[in-house]
Structure 1
Amino acid sequence: MSWNQQQEQAAVRGLLLAVRDELGHAVAGEWQAAALAAPRHRFLPELIWLRDDQGRYMACDRLASPEVWFTAAYADDAVVTQVNDGEAPAEDDEPWPSSSASAPSVVFRMLEALDLSAGMKVLEIGTGTGLTAAYLAHRLGDSNVVTVEVDEALAERARATLKANSLSPSVICADGQDGWKQQAPYDRVSATCSVTRVPIAWIEQTKPGGVILTPWDNPWICWGLLRLAVRGDGAAEGRFSPYSAFMTLRAQRQQLRIYRDVVRDEHRPDESSTGLDPRLVAGESWEADFAVGHRLGDVWYVWHDEPEMEGVQRRLWLATTDCTSWAAVDWDGDENANRYAVWQYGSRHLWDEAEAAYGWWGSHGRPGPERFGLTVNGEEHRIWLDAPENGWTLRG
């Protein structure tokens, strides 16, 4: 199945209308022109991965299922374009996404947040399909766009796709954590992967007064968009907004498991109980998760449904990223329960910390990400609520 130019333009215009509905306003004319010049489906690989009814990722081949493939290409949704870092999943393994084309509404929201003007130079971290680089190059010119991709196969494909669409920004295969100093400084650095810490190289390679825009990751929750302005003293400061959840920068990935990396048979945890429903603290509210995660800093959680424990329907596990402390809180399935068993091991009592963090969130008006900000000065990351003076050093 192939499309002529008229069909392509109709599909792009339909997508732009969907994006308008999501954003609450029309996409700016210069970005509409970029989208029409670089139709989204041209940048997607023949094989993409879509979720089925069970939430699993299933392969979708353009030749075998053209209608499904094209529908996905022009939906306002992310499309997984690579799984398992490009390795074929084993027959009995669940594929996991390692690269994707972001939802168009998220892409255009981020392009708006960059606040670009003619002559600006942009460094993009995470080329992926090359589509956002295409938009940037269409707007600013090839010579003002540098895009870095850690995966050699993805970089090669993006470079070829851009060339096929008469665009030639600099496509570099390198670790995006290091930026690309050879063509620095930049007016803007824009990442299409999330970070748990802002790499110093990004700040050093941004002009004073320039902007760094990156999705954010915290061990507790991967959510939020961070916009930093770089100061003349080499620090950077800015605020979060409640948008975007992206795959983590490969150099900052952590793939921890409770039973593989944390809990050991010889551990003897302290036993207690709590009157706070663990479901309120972890997973019920994105705003609560954002606040709790940033109060704790280096703690992650996972739910274990129906563990092989008598009388336990769900267990909440908490652990530090260095795997030295953990906690577990049990729920027996009773919606009217008012006490929950707690187990804590290590130098830190993580449930006590999480309970205190949740209480702090409530006492400060249940703030969402838009009330939080971050100041980065060298290696130090200080998170704050409402103003920099109301801050604390982010642990981890």
Structure 2
Amino acid sequence: MSAEPAGPGADEQGEAARVSAARAAMVAGLEEAGGLRPGPVRDALLALQRERLMRQAYVRRSAPEEKPSRWDLLDWRVPADRDELLGLLYGGESVLIQHDGEPILGRSPGPRCGGAITSMSSTVGMTARLLQELDLQRGQRVLDIGTGAGVTAAVACWICGDGGVVTLDRDRHVTDAARTYLADLGHRPTAVTGPGEAGWPVRAPYQRVFVSYAVPRVPQAWVEQLAPRGRVLANVTGSSPSWPGLAVITKTPGGRIEGELRAVEFGHRPGHGFERIFISRAFLDRIKAGDGGRGFRSHQAPPPDEARAFWLAVDALMPGLVRNWSADYLVIGAPACGSWLTARPDGSGAWTVTVRGPRDIWDEIQNVAARWRAAGEPTSYRLHVDAQGEQWVSAASGHPELTWSLSRRPANTDAEEEG
């Protein structure tokens, strides 16, 4: 007896099973890597249908420094795009969702040339770690600044309930798309458009504030809109992408503000108008050639990469430096002036060092290292915020050897980028 043909829904069922398996594999990978533990965030990520929240996504087709850049917009409705799009959505990396500030709803898939990506969804691992740190609870009022694709808003709705969640983005196209796609998933947070640095006082105070982009300092509005026992999480960094910091701001039941600045391995990209420096391929080639560099041996070693709080202090106290993490030895450049440093252990306990340029980067590192050691080699810092909006960082032990102010320069921290 011949087998009966598959029913009309067999293809759809097979596709749904494939997507469900990819989602489960993503969550399992996060657990194996130690970035996700049992609890509401894990359950929310396991339930979140990312292919319905991010129905289209960009993939870059050009080399990193090729001009003009070339992109393809993949679409879940196009069968030929689904395999690659499934890998993007559940592979764990950032998902690029907007090009050159375009409307997101109603776009035609296909190639794009030139321009830049203006909104994205952050890496899943970083999002999961931060959401767990936020400690979301049912019934909390949450302000999600930087809507992006709406992933953090979706998780907040799933855990806390839609009624208390406000998601804010500077771009109305991002807001419109998130509102539409979240509603398709059954979530209806308050989705609003406006400058991120102003927060959203209409629904304040908030028990939790989550920020999906980096800022040079914590805007005062975020602190003022925080409820007693509330918490703000935001990446606070300088212009270098090499050594990010995470600000954790809490408000005591009595209304006192307490802050901590932690050095972290990964952080969000900067907000709109907050430019980040980088080392170009041409600069790396000059460093590799070593032309004009001054070489010497040193028995003073820099603190290891794992001493992230030290390197965070380097970024703050000696700004303008960028680490080349792709090298298997220490390579740091100062793009603004062309100074650079290479340093390799020579196996005898000493380091072979080469420096070039008006800045002596090796001397700068050793100077900060001495101050860091004098302060007790702190692994995190106190972040001080006073009523007048002044913000400064000090070693948690209170030693004066390691203190710096956070810039008051305009940050243009409109909500955007990565949620």
Give the drift of 1:136.
0.7
Map 1:284-295; keep pairs closer than 5 Å.
Answer: 287=308, 288-295=310-317
Distance 1:45 1:286, change over 3 A: farther
Q: Which runs of 5+ in 1 are unaligned?
A: 260-271, 305-313, 320-325
DSSP 3-state at the match of 1:23: coil
Match of 1:153 in 2: 173
Separation (CA, whole Å) in 2 of partners of 1:282 and 1:98? 36
Amino acid at match of 1:250: H
Give the drift of 1:189.
0.6
Map 1:1-396; keep pairs closer than 5 Å.
Answer: 4-23=15-34, 26-28=37-39, 30-50=40-60, 58-62=71-75, 63=78, 64-86=80-102, 91=113, 93=114, 96-220=116-240, 221=242, 223-231=244-252, 232-233=254-255, 235-250=257-272, 253-254=274-275, 287=308, 288-296=310-318, 299-301=319-321, 316-317=333-334, 328-329=339-340, 338=353, 340-343=355-358, 353-361=364-372, 370-377=379-386, 378-388=388-398, 392-394=403-405, 396=407
Match of 1:269 in 2: none
Give the drift of 1:49.
2.6
Amino acid at match of 1:21: E
CA RMSD of aligned residues (A): 4.0
Distance 1:60 1:207, change over 3 A: same
Match of 1:310 in 2: none
Identity of aligned residues (%): 22
Contact 1:49 1:81 (C-alpha < 8 Å) held by counterparts: no
Match of 2:4 in 1: none
Give the drift of 1:71.
1.0
DSSP 3-state at the match of 1:117: coil
Amino acid at match of 1:229: T
1:214-234 CA-to-partner distances (Å, cap 9, x unmatched) read 123222345233221124455
Q: Which runs of 5+ in 2 are unaligned?
A: 1-10, 104-109, 281-292, 325-330, 408-419
> Comparing 99-108 with 136-145, which one deviates more in the overlay?
99-108
1:109-139 CA-to-partner distances (Å, cap 9, x unmatched) read 1111111222211101011111211111111
DSSP 3-state at the match of 1:59: strand
DSSP 3-state at the match of 1:384: strand
Contact 2:215 2:236 (C-alpha < 8 Å) held by counterparts: yes
**TM-score, normalised via structure 2 length:** 0.71
Give the drift of 1:285.
7.4
1:183-214 CA-to-partner distances (Å, cap 9, x unmatched) read 10011111111111000000000012210011
DSSP 3-state at the match of 1:124: strand
> Comparing 147-156 with 82-91, which one deviates more in the overlay?
82-91
Separation (CA, whole Å) in 2 of partners of 1:127 and 1:134? 10
